[in-house]
A and B are shown apart, each in its own frame.
Chain A
């Protein structure tokens, strides 16, 4: 069963038949987490780094921002029995346009916000595929925890 995680959205599952997938990550970031013991997986597709940009939007849709979406993702996984120290964390996205001045840098800011948040909370990223000018699709198989990354028609495990 394919569970599609839309932009500014998240999903968690412990259904072994489920595959969580999110398409077209541009400057947005996809965060996949998995507890191999509890066999609980979660996937977030956030758009922007900080909720202070639009607090009401963050309230109605926390998955839109890094600082509100990531805690929400982790808590939802804990609710299904995941344990923080066991979580395997994988990250993809944060693309940029071709821009020599780096002015349109939402992708970079998105990634830095995540690094900062994880550093503060002692979370390690086990694998990542970020930056460049790629459109990415990120997929998490809940029964095995295998995370797959697709870009430019190439599919590789992350």
Chain B
């Protein structure tokens, strides 16, 4: 498939599916280092639908709160802004990311679960990597595989050939995508992120999450997304058929002075948090 076709896909998909406005607005806030948590609350406050969502989530069985949460301020006091941001972002990407992605062997819900897992993992990496922008880490993780949504039908068509190359040539699924289709889901995802005017750091994280060494510019978010993705796939969360045929980049660990046990701890915490988020949405 040629580069001209990549452009076609970007234009067509970019017009068809897009991120909800609220998500775009929140991404803008979390990616601005001068923004405050108060701004996140203000953005949510003026969107009645989201406020209603937050209240419904807070009052769901999972939290088991004794008293009913009646206002956004109550919710923020109880859960904190970062948690509220997570819930809103996860809720508003659910429809787009929950569709089955047959080309990747992902049943309905699997890509969303994987995306939330990577989002939580990236955020958990803030401590060992000494990072502070939790919202940005979460967002990059949540959106890293957005290219799969767009590429799915093309991968599905060429699936036999891609799978054959993965099995016989010992290459990664993304490398097989490049060989058969001419480009990969991270490349396509990066183009979509640009088209949607997402901040540069998120575009980079989406585009280079499979190949951090190729990234130019701000590397930290790319690295965190790569590590969180690797851990999530190892733990078997929403990997689908291509899951473990994933080229891990050891240079990322060295760059941030991280060790294998650091990753194991991230994995353990991520699974626990993912379980909590899932339980929440199941009762929602």
User: Contact residues of A with B, CB < 8 Å?
Assistant: 7-8, 23-28, 47-48, 53-54, 57, 64, 95-99, 101, 103-107, 109, 133-135, 152
Contact = CB atoms under 8 A, between A and B. Distances in A.
A97 B246 contact: yes
A28 B264 CA distance: 11
Interface stretch (B3-11, B42-50, B136-144, B228-236): B228-236
A152 B264 contact: no
Nearest to B232: A26
16 contacts: A26-B243, A27-B235, A47-B235, A47-B268, A48-B264, A53-B268, A97-B248, A98-B248, A99-B250, A101-B250, A104-B230, A104-B234, A104-B263, A106-B260, A134-B244, A135-B241
A24 B248 contact: no
A53 B272 CA distance: 15
Contacts of A106: 234, 260, 263-264, 267
Nearest to A106: B234
Given A7-B271, A104-B230, A135 B248 contact: no
A103 B250 contact: yes
Interface string B87-121: 00000000000000000000000000000000000
B181 interface: no
B253 interface: yes
Contacts of A23: 236
Nearest to B175: A98
Interface of B: 163, 167, 170-172, 230, 233-237, 239-241, 243-248, 250, 253, 260-261, 263-265, 267-268, 271-272
A107 B94 CA distance: 30
A64 to B, nearest CB: 6
Contacts, number: 92
Given A26-B234, A105-B260, A99 B267 contact: no
Contact of B250 (A53, A57, A104, A133): A104
Contacts of B250: 99, 101, 103-104
Contacts of A96: 244
A150 to B, nearest CB: 12
Given A47-B267, A97-B230, 12 more contacts: A7-B271, A23-B236, A26-B234, A27-B236, A28-B235, A28-B236, A54-B268, A98-B170, A98-B245, A98-B248, A99-B247, A106-B263
Contacts of A26: 233-236, 239, 243-244
A53 B263 contact: no
A107 B245 CA distance: 14
B248 to A, nearest CB: 4
Contacts of A24: 236-237, 239
Contacts of B272: 57
Most central of B172, B234, B239, B260 by chain A CB within 10 Å? B234
A97 B268 contact: no
A152 to B, nearest CB: 7
A8 B264 contact: no
A122 to B, nearest CB: 28
Nearest to B110: A24
Contacts of B246: 97-98, 133
Contact of A99 (B236, B248, B263, B271): B248
Contacts of A101: 250
Given A26-B233, A28-B235, A103 B260 contact: yes
B268 A135 contact: no
A7 B250 CA distance: 26
